[in-house]
Structure formats: C-alpha cells, structure tokens
Amino acid sequence: MQVIINLEPFQTSAKHLQELISEITPKSPFGIAKNGTFIPKSAYLETQVQDGDKIEVISPVTGG
Amino acid sequence: MNADQNDCLELYGHQFPSRLLLGTSRYPSPAVLESCIQESKPAMVTASLRRQGANPEQISSGFWDILKKLNVPILPNTAGCHRPEEVIQVAHMAREVFETDWIKLELIGDDYTLQPDTLHLVATAERLIKDGFKVLPYCTDDLILCQGLVDVGCQAIMPWAAPIGTGKGPINPYALKLLRERISVPMIIDAGLGLPSHATMVLEWGYDGVLLNTAVALAHNPIKMANAFAGAVKAGREAFLAGAMLEHEQAQASTPNLGIPFWHQS
C-alpha cells in the first residue's frame, strides 16, 4: 500500500505506526501525526496504518 | 532592590532569574546562536516544529544539540498555525518532543501583518489550559482580548509591541500603558522590538519581560546585541522598581538659586 509521509509517497506493508517508524527511522527527537491528528508515542503500536494515510514526521527547529 | 539578585520573573508559579526571552531563528550560524544564549542568559528560548526534510538547514541536529547542551528552558511555539485545531495538534506534539508543558500560543489571523486571530484566540487558549498547558499567548494590545485570555486561565500574556520582525518598537504606547494599568497578571512584550531602548521602555512601564528574536539575530553583531538587550531589560526593570520622577511642563532648576554669585550686583 501507499502512504504519504511529509508530502512524499511511500510504499509500505507496515501494519501499525510502530512498524512504519522502524522502516523510515526518523531522526530523534520527533513527533508523529496521522491524518492531521497527533499520535503520542504510547499509541504507535495500536495505531493501524492504512492505504492513503497522511503521516507527518516533525522535528525541533529554530523559532521565534 | 537589586534586580539581578532579588527580583525574579514569575510565570505560572515558576521563577526565572532573567526577564529576557530569546528566539532562536534567523541567526547567522548555530555558533552565533549559542553565543547569544550564553551572553544574554535568557529565561527561556523559543523553538518550533516542522516536518523532517522540509528545511534541512533548520532541522540539523546542531540546533537540538545546542538546546540540550545549554540546558536552557524551552518555550515551544505554534508559529504558522492558522486554525485552532492546528494549534492544538502542534501543542501536543511539542509537549512530547520538547518534554515541556509550556507553549507559546500563536494563532495567526493575517499573513501580511502576522496579527493574531483575536476572534479565536481566547477559546484556543482555554482549550490548551484545560489540556494542562502553561499557555503564553501572543496577542495584540486590545484590552478586552487580554482580559478574556486572563479570564480563561492564562496566568501571563504576551501582547505585541509591533508586528513580528518589524523592529519598530512600541507603536501604541498609550494602549500598552493602559493595558499595564488594567491587567494584573505578568505581561511579556512579544514581537516588534528593534532596539534595547525599546525593551527598557516597556520594562519602565511595568511590563514583566520581553521576548525578541529578530532584533538580536539580524544585528550586525548579534552577540553584542544580545548582551545589550540583557542589560537594557535589567535597566528598565530597576527603573520601574525605583519609580520615576513626575514629568513637568516647565523647567525646574536643579542647582539652588540661593546665593548665585553676582546676583543683583550689576
């Protein structure tokens, strides 16, 4: 199936978010949102990944 | 009273030795940013969240390493959010990533002026407070808006001096002075300051601190400017605590008139 990660298409067979994260290995620290909703770390394992899901992987940046 | 030792900025029951909050964007290099933080010793530094890969320069591990190394309190912001729901999601992400309940609430209502969305700011602040955040809302100098933020539980607010990044200094001194008279919670002037004298001015008026970024980052020598702002904030606070003289319309001689030499001798 195909998901969108940070606006880019990504092919995966991951069943849940934890599995997807282990495939993409984001740089720590990071946070995840799925389809516009923040997913806390504690919910990665129970959050299913489905075709067409939009995943945001975010990191600290400078800010004012 | 010595403002350095005995006078702390208190926000949500936490005490901070400095009244300067410093942004971390637009510096010439991470090394300069690090030196500015070391020089000015801010109470907090602001940071934000963006997609990984969206801006490789900003998302370098260097920035995160600096924050961890300096161990300065972090104030995450919700910069760029235009809808309350975006703010809520980003705030929750920030809490997990930065491991802090502090949040600088930015809800932008107009891209040209970066003016906050004053119609939805109060409800958004209320929701964040219910979610357990220590909310520092970026707002305008509108009295009713600020009172609304206080009424929903904001224990400090951050009115602007001028639009973000303009460096104009307080463009409406009357409104800011009136706001200080009417609002009793700590207030930090956020945005629009360009000179250390601007910071001194608002501290003299009784504001509790300033949050600035561009004025330091885009100075020809950011490190010197960071130091200048730190001194300016202390000077303004000490002047406020000292209590300024009353202004007069007419000249009043400082030197005594009695015994002026040659008086009435010609």
Q: What is the predicted ipTM?
A: 0.94
- Using a CB-CB distance cutoff of 8 angstroms, which residues of chain A are in contact with residue B67? 60
Question: Using CA atoms, how far apart are residues B189 and B179, in angstroms rounded to an integer?
Answer: 11
Is the predicted pLDDT of residue A5 greater than 70, yes or no? yes
What confidence tier does B1 reach under pLDDT thresholds 50, 70, 90? very low
| Interchain contact A27–B (C-beta under 8 A) | yes
Rounded to two decimals, the pTM is 0.92
**What is the pLDDT, as a whole number, of residue B5?**
64
Nearest to B59 among A37, A56, A59 (CB): A59
**What is the pLDDT, as a whole number, of residue B263?**
80
HSE-CB at B215 with a 13 A cutoff on CA atoms is 31
Annotated catalytic residue B104: yes
Tokens representing residue B98 in the block: 């930065």
Cα B214 from chain centre: 12
Question: Using CA atoms, how far apart are residues B211 and B199, in angstroms rounded to an integer?
Answer: 9
The mean pLDDT value for B139-143 works out to: 97
The mean pLDDT value for B70-93 works out to: 97
Segment B201-215, tens digit of pLDDT:
999 999 999 999 999
The mean pLDDT value for B36-47 works out to: 97
Q: How far is A33 from chain B (nearest CA, A)?
A: 8
- Which of B57, B93, B211 should be substituted to probe chain A, the one whose Cβ sees the most A Cβ atoms within 10 Å? B93
| Interchain contact A30–B (C-beta under 8 A) | yes
Question: Using CA atoms, how far apart are residues B169 and B161, in angstroms rounded to an integer?
Answer: 6
CA end-to-end span of chain A: 39
Is the predicted pLDDT of residue B4 greater than 80, yes or no? no
| Interchain contact B243–A (C-beta under 8 A) | no
| Interchain contact B200–A (C-beta under 8 A) | no
**What is the pLDDT, as a whole number, of residue B53?**
72
Is the predicted pLDDT of residue B259 greater than 90, yes or no? no
What confidence tier does B52 reach under pLDDT thresholds 50, 70, 90? confident
Q: How far is A9 from chain B (nearest CA, A)?
A: 14
The mean pLDDT value for A9-37 works out to: 96
Mean pLDDT value across chain B:
94
What confidence tier does B266 reach under pLDDT thresholds 50, 70, 90? low
Tokens representing residue B24 in the block: 């971390």
* B52:A63 CB<8 A: no
Question: Using CA atoms, how far apart are residues B43 and B72, in angstroms rounded to an integer?
Answer: 7
* B52:A60 CB<8 A: no
**What is the pLDDT, as a whole number, of residue B62?**
85
